[in-house]
Structure 1
């Protein structure tokens, strides 16, 4: 029995997945000052950060087409799963569902399911890991879906950003009170809602205090953590990711820890110095 996991490029890939035939990353496109940058293995984080910092315009992302998803689903695998960015943050989920419907017109027997991660970045990575775990345990297709959907329900996403400009300019913070707080170095602690939207949980003066407040939320809300993987992604700040990891592990037991550098879409939103935690 064979399976395939299709994940949009907001989900970071561990190194070993990049050559795994069971996994395909579908790139979003980033646009800065009219230049299209494909979020695939050619993405250059430092060049992108430099370019966006110098640009008065806000970088934008566009999701893959339904046809691109259909192409990824059209394979020899008996079961295909897609994992996308939260449908409340991107059109990627809708595009993945349309791609599924297009393929099923010609191959109605193909088993395909699209997971709305209701998260982003390493939240998607963890969903893909859960699918693999279920498949490797030999679960039936419907059982994989049920188990992974329950896992998504239990997952929490948190992040602290050094720089909120991209989120603000792209309207992703429209449901938050606006802060004119940069002069005070006030850093908000952000999190996801059960629906996959972004909320402000708290704030602190300075990034280090904000990271510790984020750790408090992770520890307080962790349920059955010893059965889960802690995932952290960071934008160009590995030392911060290590500090957050150590602080969480002092308070919570987990099955494993994954730390990844942000790929293109997450780099665009997290910006230089951002840290994202999912448990």
Structure 2
């Protein structure tokens, strides 16, 4: 293993590093898919450019710029790229780093954490204790611990009837059909479907459909599609109604996402 600044792009080279945190830089084109896999170290995936969508067995996660997803070791996941993605992957030995919050989650990337990740990616692949790289890694650990969690995950159903309904909505988030209209496709009564959403997904049909729409909207906004067009594509009659609902659930106005370079 080298100690110069030319970092490996093979994830296997990062699983047994002598230090707590190593960072891999890798570029992916639009539409690239990394098949389902897992790692022996925890990961923090961050892309200053492009959007990543992850899927585990029970949830889907969207990771826009200025956010990152924390993935505990041993978690099977697949990743698809939307737009050209410049990925920075932090491989974390949690015993050495002392990370306390090890749940899978999307976190907001502060300006400080962004610069720390980019700075560590320019340091040698292997670094000594007490070195500049080691101090940067220690600050990254502290910033991860205090980062704000973002509501950017979608629970996926186990029930086959709900899977049919949810697959159709994932393919067309603008679909305005009610549970009454979905009952024939799903093969269950509206009352049964409503109960399945609460039991299987922990939320109502309306709440789940709204999450799907906002995830779809994030991808469209990142491609610089007009907010009025994104609103229509996701079932809203007006941009103002969409913006108000989006801001309430996602914690930021759609204009913020649309303005990202």
TM-score, normalised by the number of residues in structure 1: 0.30
Larger radius of gyration: 2
Q: Which structure has the higher relative contact order (CA within 8 Å, separation 6+)?
A: 1
Scaled by the length of structure 2, the TM-score of the pair is 0.32
